[in-house]
Chain A
Amino acid sequence: MALALQQLINGLTLGAVYGLIAIGYTMVYGIIGMINFAHGDIYMVSAFIAVTAFTALSMADISSVPLSLLLVLLVAVLFTSVYGWAVERTAYRPLRGSTRLAPLISAIGMSIFLQNMVQLTQGARVKPIAPVLVGGIDLLSVDGFTVRLAYSQILIVLVTVALMAGFTYLITKTSFGRQQRSCEQDRTMTALLGINVDRTISLTFMLGAALAAVAGVMVTVYYGVVDFYIGFVAGIKAFTAAVLGGIGSLPGAMLGGLIIGLIEAFWAAYLSAEYKDVATFAILILVLMFRPSGLLGRPEVEKV
């Protein structure tokens, strides 16, 4: 029971992070109908930026945890959204209106490029940082097993909830959200109505990257280690989350993220830790087989 509660906490934390990354996939898919393969690597880049920023802050003797967290989040979001913009500009925009396969391949090329660029410039070794947020609350103790709710876990869930609320507001209520949704529905008509479609798409990429940046900072705080390969696995899992929730749907992405996080945590605890990634991939394949539109998505009709 105690183990189950602990895994529930861990799973929800993990799921919140996957959900944040999944929103980036879902938004980009919604607006250009394409999977942004490089999204996982953008998240990885942001984790590296976070490592550098945390190290710099500790060298500058800034020990206040809220201040350093805020500064690092700001820096990471800023630089990572530039990366998101650059990815869209180089790998997607020149290929708009090209064949179906071309943007996919260029996106995979971008993913390989980013991964190797980070490996070359930042080194291939695992980067550990000094713990930023230590401690937690001991919830209950059964037979010597203590269920612990770490402060970093509380932080991750709170930040995710706040971002989700802000994001839902942005998409449903603001003028940018309307532009974004109208681009999803009909790009030509939107352009005819005087909305800058290119700019809207760029902004969507930047927003997705900003959310991935928050996820990257959170993961750096949570695990304390970063390497250039984390984007690959996290990217696939977040994508699975987006598909599970119904690609194109924001609440779906969050729901999918939570489900994937929980399944992973419980699978690792009760079945086998080695095969936890296999579980995710199996879910992905099963969902695509039996419910390709996901839990909250609308079925897609291909028109001629």
Chain B
Amino acid sequence: MATLVLATRQESAAARLKDAATVAVVALLLGIPMIGLTTVDQGGALRVATRWPALAAFVAACFCGRLLLRYVIDRLRQRRRTREHADTATPNENTAANPWLNRLGWGALAFALLLPVAFSDNRYVVDTATTVLIYVMLGWGLNVVVGLAGLLDLGYVAFYAVGAYTYALLSTQFGWGFWQALPVAGGVTASFGILLGWPTLRLRGDYLAIVTLGFGEIIRIVLVNWTEMSGGPNGITSIPRPSFFGLPFKPPGDAPTFAAAFGLEFSPSHRVIFLYYLILLLALLTNLFVSRMRQLPIGRAWEAMREDEIACKAMGINARNVKLSAFAIGAMLGGFAGVFFAARQGFISPESFTFNESAIILAIVVLGGMGSQLGVVLASLVLVLLPELGRDFAEYRMLLFGAAMILIMIWKPGGILAHREPTLRYLSGSAAR
């Protein structure tokens, strides 16, 4: 942790060693109560256990890491300085105009379309890809609120939960189908978005973050305790799965099924593949919708509001409507993802909608690059696939997320694929930048 401190001066080797020693001392102090000592349960009473080798390794790692980091940073800074002397014109770092990224996006789309064909016999791959796509969709939804409108929402999972529970209740209590429930759930979550947005309109960024955090917790507490409505901690079970235009994915029986209608042999993987294409379709529609919104006055107003709220108000933009629309649309997209989640799992409980989930979605948006659609895809891939690699990764996942959020903010506050450039540019001569 202590190795992340960045310094501004360039120093000699002795100074670097001294600096690294300071870091090691701090690491030792931080490590003693957490790594060096721990308490274990022994026969009903706690005993103190020591882990000095682990502490020594941690301190040594901090020392060496700090030395290396300082060395690398100094070298980079030196090189940048010499380069700046060579040519004063700084390169234009507009990632949106980078054709390479554009091609990467199309390549990813082609891969996504072909994935179930290539892995049609491997259910695990398709399942994991579906999970990735759910996060992509959530990330794109949150991107509207955080990336475009610049409103930090820490309770995004609440909308995901509202969407999921709306579908679960409509389908189990009233027998609604997936496609009927989808727009209704979108409307319900959008109203929840406005409900949350309304009291928070006047708030600044940090207050807003806490209020949204509280809102997410309120929704979760209500879901846990209002047993008659939500089934409490047990959740809602046997939620109907979506069907293919009325044809269910079932073994052959009396009613017409998907396999019978198309003359195929029944296979459980049909539904997995269908669900995959369904979420892909939803995600692509989300992407299209959001990128179109960005071209509209309202989308431009979101980005302008992010950059400077006072200037926006001075220009006559209605701050209330702009913020509320961002909240409502972000919430609606989260709700759609929730509907799909409920339909795919067939079972939902408040367990799935904890603050950790909000944090993961936020991490996806932040790490990918706020406002960047492709960045969200890459970040979701990394964040979902990392824990799949092994149990160790799953355990350290949130720890790494937290550390990565700090590092990315220090290194590139806009995210890896920063897209802070305004969509609309003034392209005449030297004023282009």
A contact set with B: CB distance below 8 Å: 34-35, 37, 45, 48-49, 51-52, 55-56, 59, 79, 82-83, 85-86, 89-91, 93-95, 98-106, 108-118, 120-123, 125, 127-130, 232, 236, 239-240, 243, 274-275, 277-278, 280-282, 284-285, 288-289, 292, 302, 304
Q: Which residues of B contact A304 (CB under 8 A)?
A: 310
Which residue from chain B places its CB closest to the CB of A87 in the assembled complex?
A: B1
Residue in contact with B39 in the complex, picked from A79, A122, A274, CB distance below 8 Å: A122
Set of chain A residues within 8 Å of B404, measured between Cβ atoms: 109
**Chain B residues near A289 (CB, 8 Å)?**
199, 202
Give Cα A124 to B192, complex, Å: 34
Q: Is the CB of A56 within 8 A of B413?
A: no
A116–B202 CB distance below 8 A: no
A51 with B214: CB separation less than 8 A: no
Assess A94 versus B410: contact at CB under 8 Å? Given A52-B37, A292-B202: yes
Docked complex Cα distance between A285 and B216 (Å) = 13
Residues of B308-325 contacting chain A, CB below 8 A: 310
Query: How many cross-chain pairs have Cβ atoms below 8 Å apart between A and B?
Result: 185
Residues on A with C-beta less than 8 A from B45 are 130
Task: Flag if B206 contacts A125 (CB, 8 Å).
Answer: no
A35-B206, A120-B396, A289-B199 given; A281·B218 CB < 8 A:
yes
With CB as the reference atom, state the residue of chain A lying closest to B358: A108
Chain A residues in 8 Å Cβ range of B209:
35, 37, 104, 108
Complex partner residue of A49 from B33, B154, B214, B399, CB under 8 angstroms: B33
A105 touches B399 (CB 8 A): no
A288 touches B38 (CB 8 A): no
A35 vs B401: C-alpha distance when bound (angstroms): 20
State the CA gap A227–B401 with chains docked (Å): 21
Q: Which residue of B lies closest to A128 (CB)?
A: B46
Residues of chain B with a CB closer than 8 A to A104's CB: 152, 205-206, 209
- Given the contacts A108-B362, A113-B1, A91 and B150 also touching, CB distance less than 8 Å: no
Q: Which of B215-254 contact A (CB under 8 A)?
A: 215, 217-218, 221-222, 224-225
Question: Which B residues are within 8 Å of any A CB, using their own CB?
Answer: 1-2, 4-6, 26, 29-30, 32-35, 37-41, 45-48, 146, 150, 152, 154, 199-200, 202-207, 209-211, 213-215, 217-218, 221-222, 224-225, 310, 355, 359, 362-363, 366, 370, 395-396, 398-399, 401-406, 409-410, 413
CB-contact partner of B406 in A51, A109, A125, A288, under 8 A: A109
With contacts A52-B33, A52-B37, A292-B203 taken as known, whether A110 is within 8 angstroms of B402 at the C-beta atoms is: yes
By the criterion CB–CB under 8 Å, are A52 and B38 in contact? yes
Once the chains bind, are B405 and A105 in contact (CB under 8 Å)? yes
Nearest chain A CB to B323 CB, angstrom units: 15
Q: How far is the CB of A117 from chain B (nearest CB, A)?
A: 6
| Centre residue among A48, A85, A94, A114 by max chain B CB count within 10 A | A94
Shortest C-beta distance, A106 to chain B (Å), equals 4
Structural contact, B206 and A34, CB atoms closer than 8 A: yes
A127–B49 Cα gap in the complex (Å)? 14
Question: Which of A106, A278, A292 lies in contact with B410, CB distance below 8 A?
Answer: A106
Whether B46 contacts A48 by the Cβ 8 Å rule is: no
List of 9 A-B pairs having minimum Cβ-Cβ separation, nearest first:
A109-B405, A113-B402, A112-B402, A281-B214, A106-B409, A116-B399, A102-B413, A35-B206, A109-B406
